[in-house]
Amino acid sequence: MNEMPAKLKARAERKTAKREEKKRQIAESAIEALKELGYANTSLRDIADKSDMSLGMLHYYFDDRTDLILYCVSIYKEQFVRDISDALDRAEGREAVIDAFSEALVASIVDDEMIHRLWYDIRTQAMFDAAFRPVVAEIEQKLIGIVRNAFLKANGAEPGDIALQYALLDGVFRYLMQGQIGASPKPRADLVATFRTLLGQFL
């Protein structure tokens, strides 16, 4: 009696997995358009052109432009959190944590500068558009978790206001990231040294 429900469940799970895979493929194409044009200047038509899909197909997978952009940012931040967390997990001892955290942050600035710009664009937009706030808040909780993990790995304790420590570190990260956009980006070694000095004061 349970065989048919089990088959239907398995079929539904496969369908969901295929849908999710397709959404990720669309998101990867959308990110390329967003990186080039920015949030404000990217329309669904731009994304459709980048992904070789019709507008109707995009609407089949996403409710609207906001839904698609939030999905893109969530995917990116999930990977960012994993990369930083993996680097911290491999580090043992305070100095190793500082080195690993610094290197991972700089690697992300260098390799993912354009997508970071999108994140800050979306985070600012959340102050004006309530649709962005739940996703932005969820992502920031994960980022705060990274900072908490770094404190725990470095010295076995976290500060009283971990959110404030995150905000301070994020401010420096954004400042250094923005500096890379100009005509005179800093060498990678200088960025690492800046983070090491900062984290040495924090952790």
Quote the percentage of the chain above a pLDDT of 70.
98
Cα distances from 160 to residues 148, 151, 157, 196, in angstroms, run: 11, 11, 9, 22
Q: Is the dihedral of CA 149, 155, 157, 159 positive or negative?
A: negative
The yes-or-no verdict on residue 187 having pLDDT over 70 is: yes
Query: Tell me, what's the pLDDT at 159?
Result: 79
Confidence of residue 121 (pLDDT cuts 50, 70, 90): confident
* 16-26: pLDDT as tens digits: 788 888 888 88
Q: What percentage of the chain reaches a pLDDT higher than 90?
A: 44
Residue at 56: amino acid letter? G
Q: What local confidence, expressed as pLDDT, does residue 139 receive?
A: 92
Half-sphere exposure at residue 58, Cβ-oriented, CA atoms within 13 angstroms: 25
